[in-house]
Structure 1
Amino acid sequence: MLSELWVVSALCAVALSAPTFSMSAVERPVEMKVLSDYFQMLSAKVQEGKKMAQAPVCDLSRAVLPVTSSSTLPAPEPGNTVKHVAIGRGTQNYTCDTTNATAIPVAAGAVATLFNASCVASTYPDLLSLLPSLALEFNLTSPDQETLTLSDLAVSGHHFFSNATTPLFDLNTQARQLGLVPCKGGNSTAAPKDAVVGQNNKGFGAVAWLRLPTRDGAGNVQEVFRVNTAGGKPPAACVGMPATFEVQYAAEYWFFQSS
C-alpha cells in the first residue's frame, strides 16, 4: 500500500494544470487521442511503479536530450550537463506586410510560460515527450497561471524576447532562482514529420528544433535546446492575415550548464 502511495504521488506531478480543462474541450478526435495516449501511459507507469522497491530518484544526470534520426542539431558541448528541463506553452509571434500581395510571415519573437519538468525528464522520458502535444490541446488561460493543465508541473519561468535578436529565459521564481538566460541565434532542424501541427490537428506545422548558444549574463548556462515542438508555424503566405498575429505552440526546453 505504501509503495502505491508514493508511486501515485510521484506521478501526480505529471498527471498535467496552465490551459483550462473541460469535457467540451476534448470532444474532438485529435484531442481525445492525445488524452488517451497520455492517460494510458500514465496508468502503465503507475502499474510499473507498484513493483519498484523504492521511489524513482530525480537525478538530472540520467536525463537524455531527445534526438531524431533526421536531426542536424549538434550534440551538447562535451562536459555540459543538464541544469533544467521545462515545458514551454505559449505563442510564436509573426508580422505581415499587408501592402504586399506576395509577402510571407516574418517571425517576431515568442512568449511562453515555462513549467518545471526536470524530474519527469530524469524518470519518465517517454511521458515527457507527450507533454508538449498534450499542453497544446488546451487553451491558454493567463500569464499568471501556476500549473500546466492536467499536470501539476509548477511554473519555473517565462520565455520572451528582450529585443529582436535575443530570446530570453527568465528562470527566477519564488520557489527557485535559476537566473536569466539570454541567448543568440544558433542551429535549427525541421521538426519530425509526425510532429503535432496545431490544435486539433489544425495548423501549419511544428516549429523547428533549435540549439541556442547563450550570451554574456547567462551564468553557467551554456546552451539551450528546443525540442519536441508542437504547433507554432505560420501559414506560408500573408494572404488574408493581419499585420500581426500569434500561433500557439508548445515545446520542451533543455538548459545545459558547464560543469
Structure 2
Amino acid sequence: MLFSTSSLVVALLLAISASARPYEKRWGGWGGGSWRGSRGDEERHSWQPSAASPYVDFFKRAGISAGNCDLQSAIPNMNLAAVSPALPTPNPDLSLFQVVVGRGTQNYTCDLANATAVPVPVGAVATLYDLSCAAVDAPELLHVTPKVALDLPVPSSDDARSPMNTMVSGHHYFLDDTTPFFNLDTSLHQYGMGALQKGNVSDAPEGSPAGPFGQGDGAVAWLTLDQVPSGENSWKQIYRLNTAGGNPPKTCTGSAASFEVDYAAEYWIFR
C-alpha cells in the first residue's frame, strides 16, 4: 500500500471538516414525523469530484475501496465483547464487504403538549466514509475515528465540491421511523443497498464520547441490524460499533418539537 493507513484516516477527517454548514435535511426532510429518504435522492446530488481531480488517483492507489484489503482478517478487530452483553459474532457464512465511519445526526421528536414527554427517536441520517483498510491494518486508529469525526462539522451539500468526496461510500437514512436503509450506490460506484431491522442491542461502553468536544447526553447503543426478510437487499447484517454521541436529553423540557443530535459510528457491513 503506497500510503499509510494513518494518512487515510487524516484524509477522512479532512473530508468531513471541508463542510461548514449544518446538515441540510437532504434525505427528504421531515415527513410524517420521521426522517425519510428515497433512492432517487442519491441521483439528485452531485457527489463526485471532477474526473480530472488528482485525488481520484490518490485514493485508488491508497487502496481505500472494498476488495483491496483482506477484510475477513479484520473481523476479530470488531471487539464485540467491549459491551455487556457482548454482541453476537457474525455468522461464518457471511462475508465482510466494507467498514465505514458514519457521520451525521440521530433525529428525535417531542410532544410539547405533554409536560412529561421524553424524546422519541425517528431515524437518522449519515454520510458513510470507507475506512475498510484501517479495520485491517490499524484497528486502534479506526476505533477512535468516530470520536474525532464527531468534533468536526456535519457534512453538508457543499461536500460535492471537495475532491476528498471520493471517500464517500454512500448514505444511511430511514425509510420510516423504524426502518434503517443503507444506500451504497453513488455515481462513482454501485455497491448495493438495502433495508434492515434492529436486532441485538447493548449500551455503549462507559466512557464513550458523550457528544462533540465531550459535551452531550451520551453515545447511542451498539447494535446489530438484520436483513429485512422481503424486498431488495444487498446486506445480510450490519453492526453499529464504537458510537460517539447521538443520545437525546432524558426529557423534552426546553426542546423543540423536532431536533437532531450529532453522532458518529463505525458500521461493519456484511453480505
Q: TM-score scaled to structure 2, two decimals?
A: 0.74
CA shift, 1:223, in A, is 0.5
User: What corresponds to 2:127 in structure 1?
Assistant: 113
CA shift, 1:152, in A, is 7.7
Q: How much is the aligned-residue C-alpha RMSD, in angstroms?
A: 2.5
Give the counterpart letter for 2:91 in structure 1.
Answer: E
Q: Structure 1 pair 147/224, CA: closer, same or farther in 2 (3 Å)? A: farther
Q: Structure 1 pair 165/69, CA: closer, same or farther in 2 (3 Å)? A: closer
Q: Give distance in 2, aligned partners of 1:59 and 1:108.
A: 36
Matches within 5 A, 1:64-143: 64=75, 65-67=78-80, 68-143=82-157
Larger deviation: 83-92 or 208-217? 208-217
User: What corresponds to 2:191 in structure 1?
Assistant: 178
CA shift, 1:120, in A, is 1.2
User: What corresponds to 1:230 in structure 2?
Assistant: 244
Q: Structure 1 pair 175/245, CA: closer, same or farther in 2 (3 Å)? A: same
CA shift, 1:80, in A, is 1.3
Check conservation: 2:192, 2:234, Cα contact below 8 A: no
Percent of aligned pairs with the same amino acid: 44
How many residues are paired up?
Answer: 218
Q: Give distance in 2, aligned partners of 1:176 and 1:186.
A: 28
User: What corresponds to 2:268 in structure 1?
Assistant: 254
Which ranges of structure 1 fall in alignment gaps of 5 or more residues?
A: 23-54
User: What corresponds to 1:59 in structure 2?
Assistant: 70
Q: Structure 1 pair 218/82, CA: closer, same or farther in 2 (3 Å)? A: farther
The structure 1 residue matched to 2:16, chosen from 13, 16, 19, is 19
CA shift, 1:140, in A, is 1.6
Q: TM-score scaled to structure 1, two decimals?
A: 0.77
Q: Give distance in 2, aligned partners of 1:128 and 1:76.
A: 19
Q: Structure 1 pair 196/242, CA: closer, same or farther in 2 (3 Å)? A: same
User: What corresponds to 1:39 in structure 2?
Assistant: none
User: What corresponds to 1:205 in structure 2?
Assistant: 218
Q: Structure 1 pair 116/190, CA: closer, same or farther in 2 (3 Å)? A: same
Q: Give distance in 1, aligned partners of 2:17 and 2:266.
A: 20
Q: Give distance in 2, aligned partners of 1:84 and 1:139.
A: 24
Give the counterpart letter for 2:16 in structure 1.
Answer: P
- Answering whether residue 178 of structure 2 is matched by residue 165 of structure 1, we say yes
Which ranges of structure 2 fall in alignment gaps of 5 or more residues?
A: 20-62
CA shift, 1:153, in A, is 7.2
The structure that has the greater radius of gyration is 1
